[in-house]
Structure 1
């Protein structure tokens, strides 16, 4: 008896040409979508989203302090959008310049250009386009000063830090870290159209915070930096010297946060003192551990420093919104 296979019967007979074609088309379509998603994710990775997130944490409190909590929410969103594009531009262009370093460092080997997930020329155009867009947006949505500060930040980060300081001096992150301080200046400028003393003090908080934050990470990955030929401080100095400088900059950070209390209220002042003591204890503990020759975990200080900065600026935001009397006013000064 001859049995004829029914098309689409689904009982183990060979599929028809039409079924095979449909399956092939679906698989091809899914493959195209998957590749497109991977490409989009690669471009997103160029911008280093986690770094942008940390930078923008400082922008909102700066704007709230500048206006004592009365700033238009739409202005905040517009400034965050423009500042985010500026940071994304700087980070993408940094990936272009540092592609040779990223390829040999284990910590950065999965970055898009290090694994050739994005053509270098495309990444360059992407970064430049973001920079132009950030300036245009900030000028239109806020003011010219904010846009100029954004462009200055991008140029400083690429030409001064990435191309000169990073590869030539162990003080690279000290001076190069100034780029990471600029979001508070941009936020203040977007709100007021000017730059005033509280903005400079907030700038210094992030400026002094950056070395202990970065050196703690570099202690953990110093062999990576050594192989890449980047003279980060832990590569060229012994751990006692590095941790001593971490302590010094931590003290500078905490003192500067207390100075900012001159323009704030008791909520910020209290959080700055408590968080500062926490930061100092962790920094001194790391130094004592290294000096005693016991195993230490510098990455713990690195992670904690993120929480410290977030706590201080969160306290600043809350204090600014509630609008309590400033510390000098409470003291009768």
Structure 2
């Protein structure tokens, strides 16, 4: 359905696609998963205007509604956007794409493109604070999501809930460092997200892009929409001890003041070197500290010594008895 240009008003309608396609997203990389304007159900471009009243847009294989180039979109509280562009089976499993806005024209200049949505039309917002509306001012989009409390302008900034840093040392002493983070609104598509690490002195020692690899660390490994792990340069943790303190947060470029810090738990995982094989007879036992050779010698020698002593005693007794008998005969 398209309004290029023109006015499109949908009242008490159901616009439905064929549903999600898990085989399409499984095994895809982040840049493919973040193809946001893929296969929209409704397109509003140029001077077009789309209004939804009591209308449901659901089960789009790709984007539910794509708005661009100066168009306008209005969705009332009795409408509903659900299950659009579900990335089932992907690294960002749980992600959806209800509305995507791009206010940049073919020449690269922004054209004001307007979106006005009542949050009651977004079940995902009441469930986990995810709007799945991809619209921000840097793309020329004036986006308002109206809630009962405050209005949300643009995309919601990422919020970190928990974080941990694991330092692993191998047999050679080489360290690898990995951060694990969970939170809300962490979706990396169509924006730049950085993981920032701060030491106990309040100094930010690392700011690493989630979607790009550094000189010695890979990009983020996603486990759904709200959790990821990221390898960090080990040079910042060479002197870390169990007493060290770190905090972390995920920030969107240009919106650092909207994201808070959380304390990171610090874990150490050290691999123990395998014991070297010794020659038989010199491996010490845990119970006595004696070598196997000594134990064998003692186990054989002691009984022989005892037998020797017993034999001497018997001989002495026999000789003594013979002497006594000889004296009695005299």
Instruction: Please give the TM-score of this superposition, normalised by the length of structure 2.
Output: 0.24
Q: Which has the higher contact order (CA 8 A, sep 6+)?
A: 1
Who wins on radius of gyration, i.e. which is larger?
2
Instruction: Please give the TM-score of this superposition, normalised by the length of structure 1.
Output: 0.24
Which of the pair is proportionally richer in helix? 1
Which of the pair is proportionally richer in strand? 2
